[in-house]
Structure formats: structure tokens, C-alpha cells
Amino acid sequence: MKRFLKSAEETEQFGAQLWQQLPSKGLIFLQGDLGAGKTTLVRGYLHAAGHIGAVKSPTYTLVEEYMLNGLKIFHFDLYRLADPEELEWLGIRDYFDQDCLCFIEWPDKGKGSLPEPDWVITLTTEGDGRCLTLESIPKQ
């Protein structure tokens, strides 16, 4: 599915729509350059799920955890990862073994240490807006 989002507000609104559409467990890769709207999309999802307050990019903390309406949500940002093996030191597999939904920004930085995603969302800037592509990945 492809959609053009005219603004950050529309990107956040699309994230809110995902709250109604995604199951409570899964792995979502978020791809796109800096400033493409990855965290904005997650912010919309989290606010729709009931989070009150700021949603910051976990660029420096690597992961932010949210517990909302009985659902555990992890938001990862791997931008500053120097080596995919660092994910093993962080216990990445323990996150995926839980009944949770994981959003991962910059998944290419964890290549080889991450399982296959359930969905891939790609955001690319086009003028003042964003082109969003949502792809469901069939499981083998």
C-alpha cells in the first residue's frame, strides 16, 4: 500500500490508524532518512493507544518501552548502533520473545541480528510531504 502524507500531522494520523489495524504482537521495520517521519508515525500510534505525553526518539537510549491498555510496545532506534552484535549484548532476543509489538527505526543497522519483520514501513520525503509504503511480509 502506498500513500502520500502532506504533513507531519497526516503522518501522525496514519500512525493512529495503525493502532486500529495492527495486531498486538509483531515486528515493524521503519525505514527512511533522518527527518522522514518515523518517530512521528510511532507517536501517532502511541497516542491512539492511550499514551499521554511526549514521545521522543530513542536515538540515545536505543529503546523506549510503553505499557498501554495491556499491550507492551517497544520503540527502538538503531541509528547509533556501531555493530549489529551490540544487539546481542542488549538482549534483543528477550524483547522479541515477549507478547509485544516492536517498532524498529534503522533496522539495517541490526542486519543479521534481527528476525524478519511482519511489516515494513518506508517513508521518503517528497517536497513538503512524505510518501509512505506499507508492506506486509509473508512468513515462510
Instruction: Give the number of other Cβ atoms within 10 Å of residue 79's Cβ.
Output: 15
CA distance linking residue 96 with residue 22, whole number of Å: 16
Q: In this model, does residue 56 exceed pLDDT 90?
A: no
pLDDT band at 116 (very low <50, low <70, confident <90, very high): very high
Residue given cell 509489538 in the structure block: 101
Tell me, yes or no, whether 105 lies in a domain: yes
**Is this structure's pTM higher than 0.85?**
yes
Q: In this model, does residue 112 exceed pLDDT 70?
A: yes
pLDDT digits (tens, 9 = 90+) for 59-77: 878 899 999 988 999 999 9
Residue 10: predicted pLDDT: 96
Tell me, yes or no, whether 57 lies in a domain: yes
| Nearest to 1, CA basis, from 135, 128, 138 | 135
CA distance linking residue 71 with residue 90, whole number of Å: 22
Residue 125: predicted pLDDT: 92
CA dihedral sign, ordered 54, 117, 3, 24:
negative
Tell me, yes or no, whether 19 lies in a domain: no
Name the residue range of residue 56's domain. Answer: 24-123
Could you tell me which residues come within 8 angstroms of residue 97 by beta carbon, excluding any fewer than 6 positions away?
Answer: none
Tell me, yes or no, whether 131 lies in a domain: no
pLDDT band at 127 (very low <50, low <70, confident <90, very high): confident
Residue 8: predicted pLDDT: 93
Instruction: Give the number of other Cβ atoms within 10 Å of residue 102's Cβ.
Output: 23
- Residue 112 is part of a domain; what is its CATH number? 3.40.50.300
Tell me, yes or no, whether 3 lies in a domain: no
Q: In this model, does residue 2 exceed pLDDT 90?
A: yes
Residue 122: predicted pLDDT: 98
Tell me, yes or no, whether 107 lies in a domain: yes
Tell me, yes or no, whether 42 lies in a domain: yes
Total count of domains within the chain: 1
Q: In this model, does residue 140 exceed pLDDT 70?
A: no
Tell me, yes or no, whether 45 lies in a domain: yes
